[in-house]
Amino acid sequence: MSEQNMLNTAEGEAQLLQDLLSAERAGAKVAGESLQQCNDPTQQKLLEQIRQGEVDSCRLVLNCMNHLNIEPNRETGAFYGKAMAIESLDERLTFVDRGQQWVIRKLREYLPGCNDDFIRTELEKMLKIHEINSQAA
């Protein structure tokens, strides 16, 4: 079974949502903490945009999980530790954009086979957020 088809099974969908939730938590935390370390107004604006996008995306994923009666995990993704280990804020922002690209790729793999209108609408909003934030980076 291809990865796209696997994502569109109940088990694959649940795992994808859990993975996205952990990743979005990590992204929000990275952006928030990086914002505290940042003095450059342009970077501050970008980090705030990314942080808000990650927070909004957490809400969208939780909406999907609630719709499907899936209990959300409480995990923060490994992305957090990897990103915060990068001392240079410029290099960290490049790494954060790689995270944005991962989410975009996962959603683009999943959405063509999604038959639930509610899930599709929520995750299309999330995809748009990540596309906008990746373009801004």
End-to-end CA distance of the chain: 35
The answer for residues whose C-beta is within 8 angstroms of residue 92's C-beta and 6 or more apart is 30, 34, 83, 84, 86
Examine the pLDDT at 4 and tell me if it is beyond 60.
no
Report pLDDT digits (tens) over 85-105. 999 999 999 999 999 999 999
CATH architecture group of domain 3-72+98-136: Up-down Bundle (1.20)
Report residue 126 as tokens: 């999330």
Report pLDDT digits (tens) over 5-29. 687 898 999 999 999 999 999 999 9
> Per the confidence metrics, is the pTM higher than 0.75?
yes
48 burial type by CB count under 10 A (0-12 exposed, 13-18 middle, 19+ buried): middle
The alpha carbon torsion through 102, 41, 33, 85 (nearest 10 deg) reads 60
Domain spans of the chain? 3-72+98-136
Distances (CA, A) of 36 to 19, 82, 89, 91, 132: 26, 18, 11, 16, 23
Residue 77 C-alpha from the chain's centroid: 10
CB 122 within 8 A of CB 64: yes
Report pLDDT digits (tens) over 15-74. 999 999 999 999 999 999 999 999 999 999 999 999 999 999 999 999 999 999 999 999
Alpha-carbon distance of 13 to 88, in angstroms, equals 35
